[in-house]
């Protein structure tokens, strides 16, 4: 009879359970750094457990942990239990990428024997989804909020620039012959697609991704309808910019229609809910998973946990406030640097725990909550926190417990 190890599911004595609960997890769980939500905050129900552990059955499963070798080459991901063993034995060290996702880096060089990994991209107007799927296992699911503030920000900047031309202040000279080149991507459209490109670039650095399947967005043009065609032209220009950039990254790009995605989803018996804003697998990630599995051949999702990303917004190139203060003085406003530190830097404060850097006031820093983005304090000293990494997103890891119930608070 084979001897049971400490990671065996059948080894469930009280002593072993207590030892396993105190063990460190390689995968960021609900109580670990990059997830500000703790399981104690969840509403009690008969299905949820007090801790996510790698010994949970693969059917409910955890996302796979990405792996890179000593030279930074992406390898096939491993299970959280294997990642924890490698870290404990000193063969690997934990790492976080620039969007806050966890992976491990081996301390030796490995000859890669990679299999096919596909990325499914489901674009949307408010919420979008990106999934990475292999031939059998689901590596990770990502749901992110779309960038929708660029157009209004540019309009506001134009009004401010024109108003400054009538005042005695620094200004940009008027450019009467300001014509845009042919094929230019509008800033608001480019910002939307750049967010997805930024996520895929970071995923490609830690995963051997080879295929990208995108749900194609088609804009129907009409004859003698200049306004109608002009409104839809940014969509066509934006997606062509997205496809060409992916191909420049040496990725094989395939497009699928919405009808094909629905037919594939119904064939596998997967359901999609109507509430698109709910951060669960069935709202957005189910379609991105179907798109990725079309390239890899996976038959069912092995995990329904997901990362929820919110792009951080910074006010750039704004010289001052719109309204003057006392004495008619308009104080400086905007920028991406606070007293020499990059805004959005993930820090660990001695009093408030994990948070990120915002603005500054009188040589003190503002710290913001990772989950809500609300300001916790604006009186933090530089020696009261430690810088961990720089992130352009707010990120949460939302695990799915046994019973397919997501912890959403």
- State the pLDDT confidence band at 231, using cuts at 50, 70 and 90: low
Residue 243 has pLDDT above 90, yes or no: yes
Give the pLDDT score at 332.
77
Q: Which residues contact 230 (CB under 8 A, 6 or more apart)?
A: none
In DSSP notation, 122-157 reads E--SSEEEEEEE-SS-EEEEEEEEPP--HHHHHHHH
Residue with tokens 């031309």: 165
Angle, helices 226-248 vs 187-206, to 10°: value is 20
Residue 201's SS3 state is helix
Task: Scan for tokens 């990994």, then name that residue.
Answer: 117
56-108 pLDDT, tens per residue? Answer: 233 345 678 999 999 999 999 999 899 999 999 999 999 888 888 889 999 99
DSSP-assigned states of every residue in 89-112: TTSEEEEE-TTS-EEEEESS----
pLDDT number for residue 9: 37
Residues 6+ apart with CB under 8 A from 80: 25, 26, 27, 54, 62, 64, 65
pLDDT at 25 over 80: no
| Cβ–Cβ < 8 Å for 346, 388 | yes
pLDDT, one tens digit per residue, over 171-230 is 777 776 666 676 778 888 999 999 999 999 999 999 999 999 999 987 777 777 776 666
Task: Please report the DSSP string for 36-47 in residue order.
Answer: ---GGGSPP-SS
* Percent of the chain scoring above 70 in pLDDT: 79
Helix or strand run (H / E) with residue 281: none
Phi, psi angle pair for 242, to nearest 5°: -65, -45
Cβ partners under 8 Å of residue 159, min gap 6: none
Pairing of strands 400-401, 74-78: unpaired
E strands, 276-404, where?
306-311, 337-338, 341-342, 345-349, 353-361, 364-368, 375-380, 385-390, 393-398, 400-401
The token duo for 100 is 């806050």
Q: How many CA atoms lie within 13 A of 203 on its CB side?
A: 27
Tell me how far CA of residue 381 lies from CA of 342, 353, 388, in angstroms.
15, 14, 16
CATH number of the 115-165+185-311 domain: 3.30.420.10
Contact 163, 86 (CB under 8 A): no
pLDDT at 354: 87
Give the 3-state secondary structure of residue 198.
Answer: helix
- Domain ranges (residues) in the chain: 23-111, 115-165+185-311, 313-318+335-392
Task: Output the pLDDT for position 27.
Answer: 40
Of these ranges, 14-23, 170-179, 288-297, 393-402, the one predicted with the greatest mean pLDDT is 288-297
Assess whether pLDDT exceeds 70 at residue 256: yes
pLDDT band for 154, please (50, 70, 90 cuts). confident
Among candidate residues 220, 224, 24, 207, the one with its CA nearest the CA of residue 131: 207
Q: Measured between alpha carbons, how far is 27 from 19 in angstroms, rounded to an integer?
A: 18
> What's the pLDDT score for residue 24?
41
> In this structure, are residues 233 and 220 in contact, taking their beta carbons and an 8 Å threshold?
no
Q: What is the pLDDT of residues 272-304, one digit of tens each?
A: 999 989 999 999 999 999 999 999 999 999 999
Who has greater pLDDT, 93 or 329? 93
Read off the pLDDT of each residue in 328-354 and give the average, rounded to a whole number.
Answer: 86
- With a CB cutoff of 8 Å and minimum separation 6, the contacts of 89 are none
pLDDT over 90 at 335, yes or no: no
- The pLDDT assigned to 376 comes to 94
Range 114-134 average pLDDT: 94
User: From the CB of residue 271, how many other CB atoms can be counted at a distance below 10 Å?
Assistant: 8
pTM: 0.77
Helix (H, G, I), strand (E, B) or coil at 296: helix
Mean pLDDT estimate for the chain: 80
Lowest average pLDDT, out of 20-34, 58-72, 100-114, 126-140, goes to 20-34
Q: Are strands 306-311 and 345-349 parallel, antiparallel or unpaired?
A: unpaired
Query: What pLDDT sits at residue 6?
Result: 35
Name the burial class of residue 178, with classes exposed (0-12), middle (13-18) and buried (19+) by CB atoms within 10 angstroms of its CB: exposed
């Amino acid at each position: 009879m084979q001897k049971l190890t400490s990671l065996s599911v059948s080894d469930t004595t009280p002593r072993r359970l207590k030892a396993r609960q105190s063990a460190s997890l390689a995968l960021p769980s609900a109580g670990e750094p990059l997830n500000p939500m703790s399981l104690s905050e969840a509403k009690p129900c008969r299905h949820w457990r007090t801790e996510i552990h790698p010994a949970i059955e693969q059917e409910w499963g955890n996302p796979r942990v990405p792996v890179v070798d000593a030279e930074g080459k992406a390898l096939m991901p491993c299970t959280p239990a294997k990642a924890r063993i490698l870290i404990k034995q000193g063969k690997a060290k934990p790492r976080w990428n620039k969007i806050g996702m966890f992976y491990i880096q081996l301390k030796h060089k490995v000859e890669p024997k990679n299999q096919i990994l596909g990325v499914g991209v489901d674009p949307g107007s408010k919420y979008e989804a990106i999934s990475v799927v292999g031939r059998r296992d689901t590596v990770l699911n990502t749901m992110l909020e779309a960038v929708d503030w660029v157009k209004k920000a540019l309009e506001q900047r134009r009004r401010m620039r024109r108003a400054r031309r009538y005042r005695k202040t620094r200004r940009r000279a008027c450019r009467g012959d300001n014509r845009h080149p042919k094929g230019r991507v509008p800033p608001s459209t480019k910002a939307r697609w750049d967010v997805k490109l930024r996520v895929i670039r970071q995923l490609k650095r830690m995963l051997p991704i080879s295929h990208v399947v995108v749900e194609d967005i088609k804009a129907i043009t009409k004859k003698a309808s200049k306004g109608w065609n002009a409104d839809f032209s940014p969509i066509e220009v934006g997606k062509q910019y997205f496809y060409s950039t992916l191909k420049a990254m040496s990725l094989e790009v395939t497009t699928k229609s919405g009808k094909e995605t629905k037919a594939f989803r119904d064939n596998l018996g997967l359901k999609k809910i109507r509430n698109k804003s709910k951060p669960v697998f069935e709202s957005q990630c189910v379609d991105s998973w179907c798109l990725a599995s079309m390239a890899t051949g996976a038959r069912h999702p092995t995990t329904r946990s997901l990362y929820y990303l919110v792009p951080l917004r910074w006010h750039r190139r704004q010289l001052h406030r719109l309204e003057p203060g006392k004495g008619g003085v308009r104080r400086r406003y905007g920028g991406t640097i606070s007293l020499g530190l990059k805004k959005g830097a993930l820090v660990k404060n001695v009093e408030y725990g994990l948070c990120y850097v915002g603005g500054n006031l009188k040589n003190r820093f503002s710290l913001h909550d990772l989950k809500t983005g609300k300001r916790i304090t604006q009186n933090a000293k530089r020696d009261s926190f430690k810088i961990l990494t720089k992130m352009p997103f707010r990120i949460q890891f939302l695990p799915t417990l046994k019973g397919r119930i997501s912890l959403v608070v």
